[in-house]
Amino acid sequence: MIQGIIGKKIGMTQIFTDDGRVIPVTVIQAGPCLVVQKKIIPGQTPRLQLGMVEARAVKNVPKPLQGHFAKANVPPTRRLREFLLEGDGPDVGQTVGVDIFSESEIVNVQGTTRGKGFQGVVKRHGFAGGRASHGSMFHRAIGSAGSNTYPAEVIKGKGMPGRMGGRQKTVRGLEVVRVDKERNVLMVRGAVPGCKGNYLCVLKKSFQRS
């Protein structure tokens, strides 16, 4: 059993159950993925390197990667990712699809959050800011950041302005609502990190390392 699969976020929609309930779901193009490499190291859990097959062909592949794909006898892919493997799994060159998941299964989805650029402390950390009255000169400023004579430095962890978003995040405990094997589509209940077109990793929550 393989730990997961590479996917791409298509967007969000809603589906209706037989009893009329509305379920918000995220649609994920999960695979198909090709097994590019199989890593077996004594004393460690075996790993499979997967590459996601997409509609557009990959151009300008660096020569080292050209040899890497040629050794596996698979076409170049845009995205590579390693997953853990338990027991017997697919061999190099074989395809991994959404059939590794089943409906009502609980998964973890890993992706990169939306980047919001450089932001101040009010938006980034939820600071209240200063008075909004005329002439206060302290509206959305950071305020006092340092300490007194001792230790005369900014304490580590102090909320400061900086880049917001654009970090890897894992949303845990999402339910697989539907599995479309023909179109390699997964529908999971709830939201996942990132914007449309963002690459994701859908991981089995029940996966246990051997």
> 43 with 102, same domain?
yes
> 123 with 70, same domain?
no
- Assess contact for 112 and 194: CB atoms under 8 A: yes
Mean pLDDT, residues 148-165: 89
pTM of the model: 0.82
- The model's pLDDT over 135-150, given as tens digits with 9 standing for 90+, comes to 988 999 888 888 888 8
What pLDDT is attached to residue 209? Answer: 57
> 138 with 73, same domain?
no
- Determine, yes or no, domain membership for 199: yes
Distances (CA, A) of 197 to 54, 108, 191: 12, 18, 14
Checking if the pLDDT of 199 tops 90, the result is yes
Can you tell me the distance from the alpha carbon of 180 to that of 56, in angstroms, rounded to the nearest whole number?
Answer: 21
- Determine, yes or no, domain membership for 70: yes
> 161 with 176, same domain?
no
> 144 with 62, same domain?
no
> 40 with 124, same domain?
no
> 87 with 183, same domain?
yes
What pLDDT is attached to residue 90? Answer: 82
What pLDDT is attached to residue 147? Answer: 81
Can you tell me the distance from the alpha carbon of 28 to that of 6, in angstroms, rounded to the nearest whole number?
Answer: 10
Can you tell me the distance from the alpha carbon of 49 to that of 101, in angstroms, rounded to the nearest whole number?
Answer: 18
Domain total in the chain = 2
Can you tell me the distance from the alpha carbon of 92 to that of 49, in angstroms, rounded to the nearest whole number?
Answer: 9
**Host domain of residue 128:** 117-165
What pLDDT is attached to residue 43? Answer: 81
Q: What is the DSSP letter of 55?
A: S
- Determine, yes or no, domain membership for 85: yes
Checking if the pLDDT of 117 tops 90, the result is yes
> 16 with 82, same domain?
yes
- The model's pLDDT over 62-112, given as tens digits with 9 standing for 90+, comes to 888 889 888 888 888 888 999 888 877 788 888 888 888 888 899 999 999
> 32 with 58, same domain?
yes
> 9 with 57, same domain?
yes
- Determine, yes or no, domain membership for 210: no
Instruction: Report which residue type is found at 196.
Output: K
- Determine, yes or no, domain membership for 94: yes
- Determine, yes or no, domain membership for 25: yes
> 74 with 94, same domain?
yes
- Residue 44, domain CATH: 2.40.30.10
> 121 with 190, same domain?
no
Of 169 and 145, the one with more pLDDT: 169
What pLDDT is attached to residue 208? Answer: 59
3-state SS class at 70: helix
- The model's pLDDT over 20-58, given as tens digits with 9 standing for 90+, comes to 889 999 999 987 889 998 888 888 888 889 998 887 778
- Assess contact for 188 and 111: CB atoms under 8 A: no
What pLDDT is attached to residue 44? Answer: 82
Centre a 10 Å sphere on the Cβ of residue 141 and count the other Cβ atoms it contains: 15
CA 96 to chain centre: 18
**What are the tokens at 100?**
């590794």
- Determine, yes or no, domain membership for 209: no
